[in-house]
Amino acid sequence: MPVHALGRNTFGDVANTGNLMPIEEAHQLLNEWVPNERLRLHMKQVAAVMKAWAIEKEQADELTARKWELAGLLHDADWEKHPDAHCRIIIEELERRNIDPEVIHCIASHGPRYFEVEPQNTMDKMIYVFDELSGFIHAAALIRPTRYEGMDVKSILKKLKTPSFAAQVNRDDITDALARINTPLEEIIQFIIDKQKDVQ
């Protein structure tokens, strides 16, 4: 059993459906739980990409888009302070706060190989797709003098085929995540570049 396996498949309470914390409160939680600015930025980037995807590709209403954003914003909130209990701590905190079960399930399924929770709905599948790729694309931006300016999809595809670049990013997870959706990798990469380039 992987060290981070959650050992369960249901999260939160359906009675809390639609119960979301304000985005400002989520930012406050991040500021308290995640001193590492780079890690905070990662979560903000995933949140921006998730929110934009919900609105532009899934025609989500405001509440649904906020669910996607909140899941992105909090998915690694416990990583820095509780690396050995990653995911379990933030899940328990959100359950304590009576947050919407879909948001909690989405966070719980963002790494099926680690947490042993399968992505179910589109929101779950997309956070799994975006998480590693978002970090990978940001790593690629950081080594470019012009950062995101002029970055193209082809250069990212090439780096993905270079195992030594951002070696900690698991290519198998990216392949597995993409196999669960119907959007080609090229389109996902372009979307991530466009939506996270201005996040601060």
Q: How far is the CB of 110 from Fe ion (least distance, A)?
A: 7
**What one-character-per-residue DSSP string does 80-135 give?**
TT-GGGTTHHHHHHHHHTT--HHHHHHHHTS-HHHH-----SHHHHHHHHHHHHHH
Segment lying near Fe ion (by CB under 5 A), choices 56-64, 70-78, 112-120, 154-162:
70-78
Which one, 60 or 90, has the nearer CB to Fe ion?
90
**Residues 26, 33: Cα–Cα separation, whole Å:** 10
| Residue closer to Fe ion (CB basis): 76 or 100 | 76
DSSP 11-79: -S-GGGTT----HHHHHHHHHHH---HHHHHHHHHHHHHHHHHHHHHS---HHHHHHHHHHHHHTTTTT
Does 131 contact Fe ion by CB under 5 A? yes
Q: Which CB sits closer to Fe ion, 69 or 76?
A: 76
Is 132 a binding residue for Fe ion by CB under 5 A? The answer is: no
Point out which span in 8-16, 68-76, 115-123, 152-160 binds Fe ion (CB under 5 A). 68-76
CA distances in angstroms from 78 to 29, 138, 190, listed in the order given:
10, 21, 29
Lookup: tokens for 182: 């119907």
Please report how close the Cβ of residue 75 comes to Fe ion at its closest, in angstroms.
5
Nearer residue to Fe ion within complex by CB, 47 or 54: 47
Give the burial string for 153-162 (b: 16+ CB within 10 Å, else e): beebeebbee
Greatest Cα pair distance, the chain, in angstroms, is: 50
Write down the least CB distance from residue 44 to Fe ion, Å: 11
76 binds Fe ion (CB under 5 A): yes
Q: How far is the CB of 12 from Fe ion (least distance, A)?
A: 20
78 binds Fe ion (CB under 5 A): no
Candidates 26-34, 61-69, 123-131, 155-163; binding stretch for Fe ion (CB under 5 A):
123-131
Residues that bind Fe ion (rule: CB under 5 A) add up to a total of: 2
Residue with smaller CB distance to Fe ion, 19 or 114: 114
Q: Can you give the binding site for Fe ion, defined by CB under 5 A?
A: 76, 131
